[in-house]
Amino acid sequence: MNFGRRGRPAETVPPLGRPVPGRDVPDPCLVVIAGPRLGHCIHVHEVPVVIGRDPGADFQITDPSVSRLHCTIWQDAGRIHLRDFGSKNGTVVNGRRVDHTTLREGDQLVLGDVVLKFVSGQLESRYHQALFGLATLDTLTQLLNRRQFRILLDEHVGTLAPEAPFSVVIIDVDRFKQVNDVLGHDAGDRVLRAIAMTIRRHLRPDDAAGRLGGDEFAVMLPGMDLDAAAAWAESLRAAIAALPGPVSISIGLAERRDPTDTPTLMLHSADMALLRAKKDGRDTVRRSP
């Protein structure tokens, strides 16, 4: 059997910063129920899906307890097959270490410190996806919540090549307290939802957006240096300024300048740039020096 690139997507999860889609899930799947990538689904079909820590794995789990190429799973004649690749910590199914086995509804897999559950019914698949949404999305805006955004940011930065460009954006709504005080909190909620929708429309497939709290948002832009991020941010600022009503945003930008730069450092730099945007009159974009 060839374990190469898949012919169909290995995982189906909500696009980053977008709501969970309410649709049927035709394939059986493995759901991560403990460990990194909590709530993500690995859909199983005829093309083998390789699970491991390696960036080339079909489903990557960046946890040191998971081997680079840990195991593979595929469907054949209605049966779900699982094979371990000689991993260091082994593949454990229902408490028993296995080299090769077939899975049944409800089986639990342990890969190092990561736990997955096999589900084949559409109802339970939708249930797990709904739980994923409740645990990771902000209920008002349907962007990622603060915790999940930080988890994704940390995971992504941890896997970047040293020379890979990467930028972060922090967005704050200008004079938002006045909107709530004058027009009421319902109007304020409508403003936040409209801004979140505009942010989502500007996201590329690998970007992620989250609501940090209140009227503050953040976006990560893999593959963008500071110049490209500034152009992206200016486009977003103009789009939000064009929304109905007197609404505007201030934006601060920062990029990873050194492979040792941490997500916390980049967010702090973007936050300092945001403060400069506020001091410079709002409704503007400022980048970290």
| DSSP labels, 100-144 | EEEE-TT-EEEETTEEEEEE--HHHHHHHHHHHHHHHB-TTT-SB
Query: Do residues 80 and 33 make contact, with C-beta atoms less than 8 angstroms apart?
Result: no
Mapped onto helix, strand or coil, the DSSP state of residue 96 is strand
Which residues have a Cβ under 8 Å from the Cβ of 239 and sit 6 or more positions away?
A: 198, 201, 202
Which residues have a Cβ under 8 Å from the Cβ of 267 and sit 6 or more positions away?
A: 153, 168, 170, 218, 254
Which residues have a Cβ under 8 Å from the Cβ of 78 and sit 6 or more positions away?
A: none
Mapped onto helix, strand or coil, the DSSP state of residue 41 is strand
215 as an active site residue: the answer is yes
Which of the following is catalytic: 58, 84, 215, 283?
A: 215
- Residues with catalytic roles: 215
